[in-house]
Amino acid sequence: MQEVTILAFESSCDDTSVALLSAKAGAHPVIESLAVQSQDDIHKSYGGVVPELASRAHLMNLIPCLKKVLQESGRRIADVSAIASTARPGLLGSLLVGHTAAKTLAYLHEKPFISVNHLEGHLASPLLEGELLYPAVSLIVSGGHTSLYLMKAEDDFTLIGQTLDDAAGEAYDKGAKLLGLGFPGGAALEQLARAGDEMRFPFSVVRVDGIQFSFSGLKSQLARFVKKADPQDYAHLAASYQRAILDHLSAKLKRAIEEYHPKSICVVGGVARNQELRRRMDIIVSSFTSIERWVAPRPEWCTDNAAMIAYRALQLYRKGTISSLSDDVGSTSRPPVRHAS
């Protein structure tokens, strides 16, 4: 088998990213270069992502990211096997920037073009680190999504549960905003929580049926506590709020493990960077003898990045799943991510 190289673009929300992946016969695929340009400085004064500004920032950031990746990898566009880009779900204006750039380059250089589902990219991200054991249960915890998938094989995933309202990352961001920590506030809230007592504020347990999540009630409780609290209580509030979020994620993950008996667990998406979540994963996994290991990708492959898009594109390329140059972008996920019946 010949070497395969993939040039991938990711611009679904507010991170502009380009990656170059190479896969030699019999060897694990390698990310030769990854560029990620954050837009946090642009959006932080608005307390959230402003779609119009995000699209325009992608326009400015994309070519510098591409140049950096080509320079670092020493590759030329003319030599890659395929060009890929995230097509959905995401902000339409943002998606269009990476997608149109990728399609244009594919056309000019006569390369196969591959549209990638962003969530399938997150699901593929642990594979950047190495092989997985199947069946696996994968928890996506990001700013836009909180869902559980059953993976029977590398390319066989079924949605088994998701949030009814906010995503876990959104809960972190909204909590951080209430505590005056800026946007996006997940990492800052985790940092503040380190100095607090997680048992100080009594957040009530989230009750939702089955393998489903809900975070909006926790945010309302935090808003009520913040109104009455002194600023010196903020670290305790952050720690107690984080505990409530992680208790809920842990309870639903345990339920999925009991129902699907996986051999491995994956935690992916921006919130998977959280050290307290990683510490809890060690504890959860040690209480199930059937699970041999759990995996979270390294931090730069957790938050939105083109490395995971490149890996998913490699899987599709090897199956011969090539997209049309008139392929569109979309705000929702739609198939091929399948839902459990």
Strand partners of residue 156: 153
Does residue 284 contact residue 314 with C-beta atoms inside 8 Å?
no
Does residue 86 contact residue 11 with C-beta atoms inside 8 Å?
yes
Give the Cα separation of 85 and 204 in Å (integer): 42
Stretch that binds ligand KG4, among 105-113, 149-157, 185-193, 220-228 (CB under 6 A): 185-193
Residue 268 Cβ, how far from Zn ion at the closest point, in Å? 9
Site for ligand KG4 in 288-317 (CB under 6 A): 303-304
Q: Annotate each residue in 127-166 with x if it binds ligand KG4 (CB under 6 A) or - if it does not, as one string.
A: ---------------xxx----------------------
Site for ligand KG4 in 75-114 (CB under 6 A): none
Give the Cα separation of 150 and 159 in Å (integer): 7
Stretch that binds ligand KG4, among 64-72, 76-84, 270-278, 283-291 (CB under 6 A): 270-278
Does residue 99 contact residue 112 with C-beta atoms inside 8 Å?
no
CB nearer to Zn ion: give 14 or 198.
14
Does residue 38 contact residue 14 with C-beta atoms inside 8 Å?
yes
> What order do you get walking across the sheet with 113-117 strand by strand?
30-38, 15-23, 4-10, 82-88, 113-117
Residue 15 Cβ, how far from ligand KG4 at the closest point, in Å? 6
Stretch that binds ligand KG4, among 33-41, 54-62, 226-234, 268-276 (CB under 6 A): 268-276
Q: Is 120 in the site for Zn ion (CB under 5 A)?
A: no
CB nearer to ligand KG4: give 29 or 270.
270
- Vertex 242 angle, CA 167 and 290, to 5°: 80
Asked if the bond preceding 184 is cis, omega within 30° of 0, the reply is yes
Residue 85 Cβ, how far from ligand KG4 at the closest point, in Å? 15
Query: Is residue 146 classed as helix, strand or coil in its secondary structure?
Result: strand
CB nearer to Zn ion: give 81 or 146.
146
Give the Cα separation of 105 and 18 in Å (integer): 13
Give the Cα separation of 67 and 107 in Å (integer): 19
Q: Is 36 in the site for ligand KG4 (CB under 6 A)?
A: no
Question: How many of the chain's residues bind Zn ion (CB under 5 A)?
Answer: 2
Q: Which of 5, 142, 146, 333 binds Zn ion (CB under 5 A)?
A: 142
Q: Is 172 in the site for ligand KG4 (CB under 6 A)?
A: yes
**Residues in the site for ligand KG4, rule: CB under 6 A?**
13, 142-144, 169, 172-173, 184-187, 190, 269-271, 273-274, 303-304
**Residues in the site for Zn ion, rule: CB under 5 A?**
142, 304
